[in-house]
Chains A and B, each alone.
Chain A
């Protein structure tokens, strides 16, 4: 099927710049984060609990070093530790309980959030128009649904709660430290400033690198997918080596970017650790000097050393968390990119209901192209009275499938309008409209479920008898019966174990079961043998009795019986009439017909 070409996908879409371009303006970090926060709506209560527990956990983190300092003081003074030690043990026990509860709870909250974001992304994606899917690699979209969502959610659930906990710890410890000794607090603050500067310098570089890394990864996935689905040809043409070369090139490119991104982000942890050590040293020296001067008790040194570790460790982790944010924000931007896509047009206010339309279709001056400036259909006018069997014939690429794409509103016309029962298609509710059409498409899309479920696809659970009836009409019953599990045979995705013709029969049965007022068959029997096709045709004659049907077929034998045959050429309708009329006309249709009969 025809789709939007590359030139279109390369154009910058509103709201974002092309990826990987040098000198790209920094992405909107704050805006992205705000949007992310809004996505956590459903999980906020759970998050609230976690925050509360985090607060409690930080309480013990603040308390313990102080208690230890007191104990050390007592020991230093030669006094018994007494009750103090039991208090410390109690605090530790409480700390354990809280941590356990917090982590246990967080597992559920975090996963629920992932689930929520992922399913809402999918729910949005399913509303996007066909053009969106046609213009993108599937592997790349899949990586957004899995990797990117994971990254985001881990960041929110794990990192955010850690962040909250650290906020408590930092303020708590800061207060205690100030209370204990201001000068030492100032020394401890030094490391914080250093860590902040470092983090800023690093993250500035990494965000772009991470984005680039994710993008190349998507491409890499795309190539893997392509080479697996096209493996037959790779083997037939002995292209294994060439494919490997190509993969190697992409892989190297990925590795290069990834190394850069990882090295830069990897600096955060160790260097902040070094800063920490530096801090430890400074506190040791300064407090030592102060103790000598007699302005400080030894127990306080102990508390301070523990505090300074605890105080700056959050900063190490914050740096690390910030680092994770890079990946997550880059992923979030890719997800929002999808969420910013235009969905299929909403129904107009007061959209018309459509229940079992009569099926009078009218194309009026319809012009359409998949790309701006391109005209696949050019001023098409066609009137199909209700209940007519219409056949569309014409060369490949003449625009036959496009007619269908417009009729089912997979795409909307650029100019002109299509009317169904006298009203513009766009005035109907989309749901009703799609329900009005039973469509059998050229591409057979089968799912990895049983044959029975494949046939009743979109219709829910139906009794086997109804499914069989449809299959019988479609001529699929006999081959299905011959399968060892019959209707319960589970297909692999795409139905690889069936022949193309068998797959087509199943998709026909699917449409038969739908029992829609208007039937559309786009090359539905191109791979079915002609004996079977004849059976189907006869059955179809019965089904289409009194219904409007549009058939696209190459085999003119399939469409001979149609009430109206339309010949499309270069996006225009060049001949129309029934078989006899067109044969008499002795024009392009007559020539095609004779070719097919083996007469030319």
Chain B
């Protein structure tokens, strides 16, 4: 309710204008029976045709006034409510953008979507309704009661009883309805979640012949929703007719009392009966309105929950030009739901311009580690320094502007290829874009698309293959010309030849960037300046390929699994000798293949499509 009021308050002019016209419209409704009673009591009783026509004309005038009010009210009410809906949606959306991942995890993505769509629509309808019927009902109610009392003051006690009983019924309706409509909304959330899950897992569903199972799940969710719906509707079914009955019995009492009425006032009696039916109509509306109010309040609470969500991170840092060195000081972090920390007591230092390979088994905390650098999450313990400044002291936007991340799962957006690439740098010239896509080995396949750079991507880029998406995502990051480049196993969907080529070109592009390179493959990380080997969220070793091979058992195991075994299997192939020589050259002399040396060299190679 408070939420709705704040939004309504932003448009006082429009809202009040709508109410003004609504009152005009309602007044026209209310005046009709009174005028009618004049016709009967002054015209019919006295056989005065002139009076009948005179009052008739006044009634027509009143009707015209009502028409004006109705039309104008419709325009204003609609505009106001739609405007409010629009603002509310935008505010939620804006809010989402400021939230951190912790918040999003907590609110659940599917629930956020229903909030921004269904809930806002619900509120919007309610506000619109409030300017149509909601305000009209009390006005009619009060107006009609005043007019009845004015014409037949004897009815006051009866009216008080009717109001009291109706009030009780409405309150009861309200009390019972609220919880039920709230549950209805939760069940709707659940249904959305189930269908969303089904849609995104459709391949697996089909491959595993699990259509039946998914259907069951959907049925359950639909059933839950239906049950909640039934119980909510039934509350209405109990109270609505009861309110009806109360007022109808009022009419009976009214007629009974009027038995002793002076015969000259028959018009007044007729008007009173008419007013009673109007009251009935209005009270019927009240219960309807309250039911939708219950819904709207539930919705607005859910909307408010998003709007009031406090971003888990504070951004109070200042502008800072990054040079590129990174220090982790005793850093620990665990995710909200996880029982064990994702990383624990991590300390290391990266020099500006250095390329660090990060390797380790699945779930060893590699991604978590790098997520802390651009502050996707904040470390729970310890601190991360960039050039000796705590990342929390740097303005978040400035920080992220100087860091580029290429995630494991390439995330693209609907829009053209070019638009997606320009996320890296909005003002990038075509030439720069081209250079970036060249470096990511993406130019070839982009040109092969129907409209080249202007090809539209569907939602999340579903019309590209995983490898193509990854390469676009690399190009996008390069276009940013960051000080720190984070590559999170971002070549996993590329075939080996393309991957090798992409990595080679990346080395050339790296320049004086600090690069954090996560990979599963020894062959990818062994050419970096130093390698960080993680296991179970702890550092197992850090050093050059050669150093780790000698000292780090975890690293040795990985090496053996990928290359070592090959040596023993094909002893004559010359692979071992070649590899050892290669590695020695790289680590000792920084050959043209190593990251650092590669930065000064450039070689043309083949890009896979």
Whether B82 pairs with A100 at a CB distance below 8 angstroms is: no
Q: In the complex, what's the smallest C-beta–C-beta distance from A549 to chain B, in angstroms?
A: 15
Q: A243-B97, A277-B32 are in contact. Are A396 and B71 (CB under 8 A)?
A: no
Kindly identify, within residues 193 to 211 of chain A, every residue whose CB is under 8 Å from any CB belonging to chain B. Answer: none
Asked if B171 is an interface residue, CB under 8 A from chain A, the answer is: no
Asked if B160 is an interface residue, CB under 8 A from chain A, the answer is: no
Residues on A with C-beta less than 8 A from B565 are: 534
Residues on B with C-beta less than 8 A from A457 are: 204, 208, 210, 213
Chain B, Cβ-Cβ closest to A289? B52
Q: A6-B463, A232-B407, A514-B208 are in contact. Are A284 and B56 (CB under 8 A)?
A: yes
Asked if B161 is an interface residue, CB under 8 A from chain A, the answer is: no
Q: In the complex, what's the smallest C-beta–C-beta distance from A25 to chain B, in angstroms?
A: 28
Q: In the complex, what's the smallest C-beta–C-beta distance from A385 to chain B, in angstroms?
A: 24
Residues on B with C-beta less than 8 A from A533 are: 561
Majority-rule SS of A interface residues: helix
Asked if A408 is an interface residue, CB under 8 A from chain B, the answer is: yes
Whether B110 pairs with A493 at a CB distance below 8 angstroms is: yes
Whether B582 pairs with A598 at a CB distance below 8 angstroms is: yes
Q: Digit string of B190-229 for contact with A (CB within 8 Å is 1, else 0)? A: 0111011111111111111111011100110011011101
Whether A281 pairs with B63 at a CB distance below 8 angstroms is: yes
Whether A302 pairs with B273 at a CB distance below 8 angstroms is: yes
Whether A274 pairs with B70 at a CB distance below 8 angstroms is: yes
Q: In the complex, what's the smallest C-beta–C-beta distance from B58 to chain A, in angstroms?
A: 9
Kindly identify, within residues 81 to 122 of chain B, every residue whose CB is under 8 Å from any CB belonging to chain A. Answer: 81-83, 85-86, 89-90, 93-94, 96-98, 101, 104-105, 108-110, 112-113, 116-118
A244 contact from B39, B93, B197, Cβ within 8 A? B93
Q: How far is the CA of A80 from the CA of B260 in the complex (A)?
A: 8
Whether A502 pairs with B363 at a CB distance below 8 angstroms is: yes
Q: In the complex, what's the smallest C-beta–C-beta distance from A254 to chain B, in angstroms?
A: 8
Give the contact stretch, choosing among B148-156, B344-352, B427-435, B489-497: B489-497
Residues on A with C-beta less than 8 A from B340 are: 482, 484
Chain B, Cβ-Cβ closest to A4? B463
Q: Digit string of A1-32 for contact with B (CB within 8 Å is 1, else 0)? A: 11111110000000000000000000000000
B397 contact from A64, A238, A277, A401, Cβ within 8 A? A238
Q: How far is the CA of A248 from the CA of B93 in the complex (A)?
A: 9
B207 contact from A1, A233, A408, Cβ within 8 A? A408
Whether A526 pairs with B229 at a CB distance below 8 angstroms is: no
Kindly identify, within residues 226 to 247 of chain A, every residue whose CB is under 8 Å from any CB belonging to chain B. Answer: 226-240, 242-244, 247
Kindly identify, within residues 212 to 265 of chain B, every residue whose CB is under 8 Å from any CB belonging to chain A. Answer: 213-215, 218-219, 222-223, 225-227, 229-230, 232-234, 236-238, 240-242, 244-245, 248-249, 251-252, 255-256, 258-259, 261, 263
Asked if B321 is an interface residue, CB under 8 A from chain A, the answer is: no
Q: Which of B94, B238, B562, B583 has the most CB of A within 10 A?
A: B562
Q: How far is the CA of A271 from the CA of B53 in the complex (A)?
A: 24
Q: In the complex, what's the smallest C-beta–C-beta distance from B391 to chain A, in angstroms?
A: 14
Q: In the complex, what's the smallest C-beta–C-beta distance from B519 to chain A, in angstroms?
A: 10
Q: How far is the CA of A292 from the CA of B33 in the complex (A)?
A: 19
Whether A119 pairs with B215 at a CB distance below 8 angstroms is: yes
Q: How far is the CA of A460 from the CA of B85 in the complex (A)?
A: 45
Whether A292 pairs with B49 at a CB distance below 8 angstroms is: yes
B566 contact from A227, A242, A439, A557, Cβ within 8 A? A557
Residues on B with C-beta less than 8 A from A446 are: 201
Q: In the complex, what's the smallest C-beta–C-beta distance from B238 to chain A, in angstroms?
A: 7
Q: A240-B98, A269-B132 are in contact. Are A106 and B363 (CB under 8 A)?
A: no
Chain A, Cβ-Cβ closest to B499? A554
Q: In the complex, what's the smallest C-beta–C-beta distance from B55 to chain A, in angstroms?
A: 8
Chain B, Cβ-Cβ closest to A533? B561
Q: How far is the CA of A291 from the CA of B413 in the complex (A)?
A: 75
Whether B520 pairs with A122 at a CB distance below 8 angstroms is: no
Whether A118 pairs with B222 at a CB distance below 8 angstroms is: yes
Q: A89-B252, A529-B520 are in contact. Are A248 and B261 (CB under 8 A)?
A: no
Q: A234-B97, A493-B196, A497-B335 are in contact. Are A224 and B113 (CB under 8 A)?
A: yes
Give the contact stretch, choosing among B6-14, B290-298, B323-331, B521-529: B521-529
Asked if A309 is an interface residue, CB under 8 A from chain B, the answer is: yes
Asked if B16 is an interface residue, CB under 8 A from chain A, the answer is: no
B82 contact from A237, A255, A507, Cβ within 8 A? A255
Residues on A with C-beta less than 8 A from B437 are: none
Q: In the complex, what's the smallest C-beta–C-beta distance from B256 to chain A, in angstroms?
A: 5
Give the contact stretch, choosing among A135-143, A414-422, A539-547: A135-143
Whether B462 pairs with A224 at a CB distance below 8 angstroms is: no
Q: Digit string of B60-87 for contact with A (CB within 8 Å is 1, else 0)? A: 1011001100110111011101110110
Whether A255 pairs with B85 at a CB distance below 8 angstroms is: yes
Q: A280-B32, A288-B56 are in contact. Are A479 and B215 (CB under 8 A)?
A: no
Residues on B with C-beta less than 8 A from A271 are: 67, 70-71
Asked if A501 is an interface residue, CB under 8 A from chain B, the answer is: yes
Q: How far is the CA of A437 from the CA of B207 in the complex (A)?
A: 8
Residues on A with C-beta less than 8 A from B248 are: 64, 92, 95-96
Majority-rule SS of B interface residues: helix
Whether B460 pairs with A106 at a CB distance below 8 angstroms is: no
Asked if B401 is an interface residue, CB under 8 A from chain A, the answer is: yes
Chain B, Cβ-Cβ closest to A460? B213
Chain B, Cβ-Cβ closest to A125? B198
Q: A75-B259, A233-B411, A447-B197 are in contact. Are A592 and B480 (CB under 8 A)?
A: no
Chain B, Cβ-Cβ closest to A98? B241
Give the contact stretch, choosing among B162-170, B380-388, B464-472, B508-516: B464-472
Q: How far is the CA of A433 from the CA of B453 in the complex (A)?
A: 40
Q: How far is the CA of A591 from the CA of B330 in the complex (A)?
A: 44
Whether B109 pairs with A228 at a CB distance below 8 angstroms is: yes
Q: How far is the CA of A498 from the CA of B337 in the complex (A)?
A: 11
Give the contact stretch, choosing among A181-189, A260-268, A465-473: A260-268
Q: How far is the CA of A524 from the CA of B36 in the complex (A)?
A: 82
Residues on B with C-beta less than 8 A from A492 are: 105, 108, 337
A5 contact from B97, B195, B450, Cβ within 8 A? B450
B362 contact from A4, A277, A527, Cβ within 8 A? A527
Asked if A337 is an interface residue, CB under 8 A from chain B, the answer is: no
Residues on A with C-beta less than 8 A from B412 are: 230
Q: Digit string of A574-600 for contact with B (CB within 8 Å is 1, else 0)? A: 000000000000000001110111111
19 further A-B contacts with Cβ under 8 Å, apart from A72-B255, A557-B566, A599-B582, are A5-B450, A88-B251, A135-B458, A139-B113, A142-B195, A233-B473, A238-B401, A270-B70, A280-B36, A288-B39, A288-B52, A289-B49, A401-B465, A445-B203, A528-B520, A531-B558, A531-B561, A532-B362, A595-B499
15 sampled A-B residue pairs with Cβ under 8 A: A104-B237, A108-B230, A243-B97, A247-B93, A266-B74, A266-B78, A270-B74, A274-B70, A284-B35, A284-B59, A285-B56, A288-B39, A527-B408, A534-B561, A598-B583
Top 10 A-B pairs ranked by shortest CB distance? A396-B467, A501-B362, A270-B70, A107-B233, A458-B208, A445-B201, A103-B237, A395-B608, A484-B339, A598-B523
